[in-house]
Amino acid sequence: MRRQPLLVNAGRLRETLDTFAQIGGTDNNGVTRLALTKEDILARDTFRACCEEIGMTVESDDMGNVCATLAGVQDAPPIVMGSHLDSVKKGGRFDGVLGVIAGLEVVRTLIEHEVKPCFPITIVNFTNEEGARFEPSMMASGVLSGKFEKSSMLNKTDSEGVSFEAALKASGYEGSIANRIAEATAYLELHIEQGPCLDQEGLSIGVVECVVGMVCYEIEITGESNHAGTTPMTMRKDAFFEANDRVSELRRQLDLLGDGELVYTMGRVQVYPNIHTVIPNKVVFTIEARHKNEDILREVERIIAGLNNGAGDGGCTIRISKLWSRNTVWFDPDLCSRIEQSARALGYSYRRMVSGAGHDAQFTASFLPSAMIFVPSVNGKSHCEEELTPYEDCAKGANVLLETVMAILD
């Protein structure tokens, strides 16, 4: 006989989310809870208290990652759920925290229904996922996965010159390297989509197959400054005009690529000397592109390279520098299938999709079987105070998380 799915306590999940939203809450219903500030420490303390209240063991590792564990019948690699409690400045009340609190609600539900898990169940709060106080983002999971050097991360400083190492020591959450998550039966991260797809399509659940790859370039165009009123148009080497032509050509070619899933952004533009009476002599802009298919990204790079490193049509010179890139990170196929089966068993509408944003799961995937669950973001809003995910959808995401845990335990 097929097991009836368990369901979380939706009211309790909402109350817990509301409790955490008050920690660092802003006037416009958002949250500012930068990593290892007093607000983040209070959130950690509250999380610890909630976990210890239901009999979980709470430990921190050497990067301040907080792990709460419910013992299993067997001494085996745990099922790990989680995300992060820190936020950006004036961010939303669901980003990150939903994955941690949903994990807590899953464990509460297991205990209430007297489910004795064969594997330990761990909830993790990763330190400094946002990178809003200390760059880079996903710092702690990056150290665990070997993507970042710990010594380099400890020396990172915030805008006031405080080092990550100093803030970690002052927080009281610096633990032992022996407490790092090194193995797991599964890592499951519930997160808001931070994009508009689920909301626009009226779907409840996203089964996330991957975090897409990306490339980022800087384009520097150099011309000559001169008087804006006395220099004839035919005698100018205007770096801004040249940049405008190059941007238009990039857009034309990139829009022809792929299946409509390529996204690209020219997000930073600097014009020199930036004076209205002077012809610009230099423009620097970035071009970032993201897609799950690395062949598409290679074609993007070919198009960017086509701008040439030599002279432009307007007599300007063009220099192209690759800033960084990352490959697409594919999540564990079996876990993705289990999540899909869980959504179907619960009768929730869903789709398979990709994540354009980075998450801790993309780093854990290199050493743990990992997968993600998305729930809708109203109007695709995130990293802002307007961020909203209906509580009903939060509960559905937590139910899919719970059902996936139960399927692994069966």
The CATH number assigned to the domain holding 283 equals 3.30.70.360
pLDDT computed for residue 258 by the predictor: 73
pLDDT computed for residue 260 by the predictor: 86
Same domain membership, residue 322 and residue 207: no
Q: Has residue 370 been placed in a domain? A: yes
How many Cβ atoms from other residues are within 10 Å of residue 96's Cβ?
Answer: 27
Q: Has residue 304 been placed in a domain? A: yes
Same domain membership, residue 196 and residue 86: yes
Distance CA 14, CA 272 (A): 50
How many Cβ atoms from other residues are within 10 Å of residue 264's Cβ?
Answer: 18
Same domain membership, residue 371 and residue 319: no
Q: What is the CATH number of the domain that holds 55?
A: 3.40.630.10
Q: Has residue 4 been placed in a domain? A: no
| pLDDT, tens digit (0-9, with 9 covering 90-100), for 104-113 | 999 999 999 9
Which regions in the chain score pLDDT beneath 50? 1
Total domain count for the chain? 2
Same domain membership, residue 127 and residue 114: yes
Nearest to 67, CA basis, from 86, 81, 87, 88? 81
Same domain membership, residue 348 and residue 218: no
Same domain membership, residue 218 and residue 176: no
Same domain membership, residue 373 and residue 309: no
Same domain membership, residue 130 and residue 77: yes
Q: Has residue 118 been placed in a domain? A: yes
Compute CA distances 287 → 137, 197, 219, 303, 383, whole Å.
20, 23, 8, 11, 21
Of 326, 347, 382, the residue that ends a domain is 326
Q: Has residue 65 been placed in a domain? A: yes
Q: Has residue 3 been placed in a domain? A: no
| pLDDT, tens digit (0-9, with 9 covering 90-100), for 329-383 | 999 999 999 999 999 999 999 999 999 999 999 999 999 999 999 999 999 999 9
Q: Has residue 202 been placed in a domain? A: yes
Same domain membership, residue 382 and residue 316: no
Of 274, 295, 326, the residue that ends a domain is 326
Of 274, 292, 326, the residue that ends a domain is 326
List, as one string, the DSSP characters of 78-99: PEEEEE-----TTB-SSTTHHH
Q: Domain residues for 46?
A: 10-211+328-409
Nearest to 212, CA basis, from 316, 294, 112? 294
Same domain membership, residue 354 and residue 319: no
How many CA atoms lie less than 13 Å away from 214 in the CB half-sphere? 20
Same domain membership, residue 233 and residue 90: no
Same domain membership, residue 196 and residue 82: yes
**Angle at Cα 337 formed by Cα 334 and Cα 341, nearest 5°?**
140
Q: Has residue 5 been placed in a domain? A: no
Beta bridge partners of 270: 284
Distance CA 89, CA 34 (A): 7
